[in-house]
Chain A
Amino acid sequence: MAELENAGQHRYRRHVRISTTYIVMLSLAVGVLVLALSIGRFPISPAELMSLVSAKLFGGSANAPENADIVLFNIRGPRIVAAFIVGGALAAAGAAYQNLFRNPLVSPDILGVSSGAALGAVLGIFLGLPIIAIQGMAFVGGLTAVATIYLIGDRIRGHDPVLTLVLAGIVVGSLLGSGIALTKYLADPYNQLPAITYWLLGSFASISKSDLAVAMPIMLASLLPLVLLRWRINLLALPDDDARALGLNVGRLRLVVIVAATLMTAAAVSICGIIGWVGLVVPHAVRLLVGAEFSRLLPLAVLVGGTFMVAVDTIGRSVAQIEIPPGVLTAAIGTPVFIWLMAATFRRQT
């Protein structure tokens, strides 16, 4: 009897910890978003911010300096939205892939989507194409890379289909990497090469409303399958035979997850370049907090990933005249936080 009581207490404590995490993260997200709206190189005071927002919602003129409305609604606003969605998408894709590959050390890039997108964009810059073409080539490049890797993995049906995918991803990814290196070598060192370097560093600086109008629907649409299948995705963590014995069509579910994760990652990379770390570490951190169960993990990963990215981008675009690449900040800020989280979790477990 006492055993059952103990168990009940254990479950209750776990339940409380999970709910608390949700509430804390939700409030943090709201706080960060509001803060992000009020911070930037262009000074907008909280009063001016309120005035601008109410003027937008209810009409009338705002009590704010000239150009403040363009800055808020055409520059800062879209950028914050983009950062949130990209952060959330990368975290979601990372969480799904970690489940699919049964490995917490997996990031959304494992199937080459970032390398493919990078090659596409780098070629676009090399050929002097307009911005929308560069983004389009990045998107197509990402999809093509993953499709190629998936087909290779599918043809070479080894004992372990997951391992085959990973190996194909590594090999094709390095081939794409050498393509990028070759293009950099051939590029005009004065003009194209810096542009390529900056694109590869990743940045939200050049996000515009029109970029968002195309990328956001794609990312949301590709998030939908993951949301609908969130409980079934748990089963991918089982060995293939186990999952199939439970009646699951493993190959088909795996394909759906790969397609969804690839679409959202390719869309993200095409508008902001390569930003690493979030897709790898955020799902891991959230898993430490609330466990691996995917229907619980997914929404929280999206929330944490999006909030973290907005926070990082806000810092990167405000502390100096020049921008600090988000890839640098995600690692710099995230690493100590993650180490603290690991320590706290392992202390709890022992």
Chain B
Amino acid sequence: MVRCIYTLFAFFVVSTSSLAQTTLFIDDAGRSVMLPGKIDRIYAAGPPASVLIMAIAPEKLLGWTRGIRPNEAAFMPSKLAQLPELGRLTGRGNTANVEIVLKAKPDIIIDIGSVNANFASLADRVTQETKIPYVLLDGRLDTLPQQIEKLARVLGESKRARPLLDYVNASFTELKSRIAVIPGANRPEVFYARGPSGLTTGLTGSINVEMLEFLGARNVASAPGAPGVGNLAQVGFEQVVLWNPPTIITNDPVFYREVWTRAEWQPIRAVRNKRVFLSPNLPFGWFDFPPGANRLIGLKWLANILYPDTFKYDLGKEVAIVYGLLYQQAPTPEQIAKLLAEPGVMPK
């Protein structure tokens, strides 16, 4: 009899909670977030979150932290491109501009990136002040499938996210399995040149060179834990000459232009063999930033460059697929050709 009452009671609690329409979700920072039953308005707290929400539930995206420029807008539906610029939520020194959030009136805030205690406490604070649930997901590259799956679950769009998830899983599996069999001696060395002088680089273990590690390449700047600006560090010319990297990746067009003429760079193997590559960045970068799902196409691009005997992706085709999945618009053949024809994108 008592058992009967307990069971009835439990059933009653469960059904009332589903009537109240909230679900409990544990995000990647270990925080318990009460998700609302209906999510129609999403505030993306940074570019990685914006990219993924654009891919899975674009009509629910409220705006961008940084407005879309005209050359970026050409790669996405105009409705998306014209979404307002809402501004950054988290500023320098961990300030959160809650006015921005309150003005936008989202049902939920999604942030994909670092999930350390700092950001967790910031998320808690924002929720406290605005009463809006805040979900933090780990943004590391190799957790991309989990990001997609969890985000889809949170937004209730698991079906819509299926094609993207399948593609990512398939790509990851293919890349990892084929790279795993390449012996260590044949793993390529890469120098990541940042900034106009090219003398800033990402140290091994930093988010900036995740792609290199994912692809099993060796970052020449392997001084882990060394102090720098967010794991970036400055190096001198002598050190670069000493490393003599066979391949250089950059996303700075100024550096790319000047590396061919500056005397100090000429002794480097990468410069002599014309293996300096400039990452495309429309509508979002292919390497390093923003550190989100946009790097997906970059993986295939870089795989072609680093392992030319193993990977021979048809980049034109891959760009069409990935852009369609992520940015809701298949690029025209002209757009693709122009993207790939930019100097520094394709190996000579």
Contacts and interface: CB of A to CB of B under 8 A. Distances in A.
Direct contact of A and B (CB under 8 A): yes
Contacts of B70: none
B228 interface: yes
A273 to B, nearest CB: 11
B25 interface: no
A208 B223 contact: no
A12 interface: no
Interface of A: 40-42, 66-67, 70-71, 74-76, 79, 125, 128-131, 134, 185, 188, 190-191, 194-195, 197-198, 203, 205-206, 208-210, 317, 320-323, 325
Given A42-B238, A198-B234, A130 B257 contact: yes
Interface residues of B, number: 42
B341 interface: no
Contacts of B197: 131, 205-206
A209 B263 contact: yes
Given A321-B221, A323-B233, A198 B238 contact: no
Nearest to B291: A190
Given A190-B288, A190-B290, A206-B197, A67 B267 contact: yes
Q: Is the interface of A mostly helix, strand, loop or mixed?
A: loop
Contacts of B235: 205, 321-323
Nearest to A201: B234
B223 A321 contact: yes
A130 B196 contact: yes
Given A191-B289, A194-B195, A317 B238 contact: yes
Contacts of A128: 196, 253-254
14 contacts: A41-B238, A42-B241, A70-B241, A70-B264, A71-B267, A75-B264, A190-B291, A191-B194, A198-B200, A208-B264, A322-B228, A322-B234, A322-B235, A323-B233
Contacts of A205: 197, 199, 234-237
Contacts of A131: 196-197, 254, 258
Contacts of A42: 238-239, 241-242
A71 B241 contact: yes
Contacts of B200: 194-195, 198
A211 to B, nearest CB: 10
Nearest to A40: B238
A203 B229 CA distance: 15
Given A194-B200, A197-B229, A130 B238 contact: no
B226 interface: yes
A191 B251 contact: yes
A208 B262 contact: yes
Nearest to A43: B242
Interface in B55-69: 66
Contact of B195 (A71, A74, A198, A210): A198
A194 B232 contact: yes
Contacts of B228: 322
A205 to B, nearest CB: 4
Contacts, number: 113
B149 interface: no
B335 interface: no
A322 B226 contact: yes
B124 interface: no
Closest 7 CB pairs of A and B: A190-B289, A322-B233, A206-B197, A195-B195, A41-B238, A67-B267, A75-B237
A198 B288 CA distance: 18
B230 interface: yes
Given A208-B264, A321-B221, A322-B223, A76 B252 contact: no
Contacts of A129: 254
A197 B227 CA distance: 14
Contact of A76 (B194, B232, B238): B238
A109 to B, nearest CB: 22
B266 interface: yes
Contacts of B232: 194
A325 to B, nearest CB: 8
Interface string B196-217: 1101100100000000000000
Contacts of B289: 190-191
A41 B262 CA distance: 20
Taking each of A71, A185, A190, which has the highest tally of chain B beta carbons within 10 Å of its own beta carbon? A190
Nearest to B196: A131
Contacts of B238: 40-42, 71, 75-76, 317
A238 B269 CA distance: 61
B254 A70 contact: no
B254 A320 contact: no
Contacts of A197: 229
A68 to B, nearest CB: 9
Contacts of B234: 198, 203, 205, 322-323, 325
Residue from the set B227, B229, B239, B252 with the largest chain A CB neighbour count within 10 Å: B239
A206 B252 CA distance: 16
Nearest to B198: A206
A202 to B, nearest CB: 11
Given A70-B241, A191-B252, A210-B263, 8 more contacts: A41-B236, A41-B239, A70-B264, A131-B196, A131-B197, A194-B232, A320-B226, A322-B228
Q: Which has the most chain B C-beta neighbours within 10 Å: A129, A131, A209, A210?
A: A131
B325 to A, nearest CB: 23
A323 B203 CA distance: 13
A129 B255 CA distance: 10
Contacts of A66: 267
Contacts of A321: 221, 223, 226, 233, 235, 239
Nearest to A72: B238
B196 A195 contact: yes
A134 B230 CA distance: 24
A67 to B, nearest CB: 4
Contacts of B244: 67
A76 B221 CA distance: 20
Contacts of A203: 234
A75 B124 CA distance: 50
Contacts of A195: 194-196, 200
B271 to A, nearest CB: 12
A79 B289 CA distance: 32
Interface in B158-209: 194-197, 199-200, 203
B226 A317 contact: no
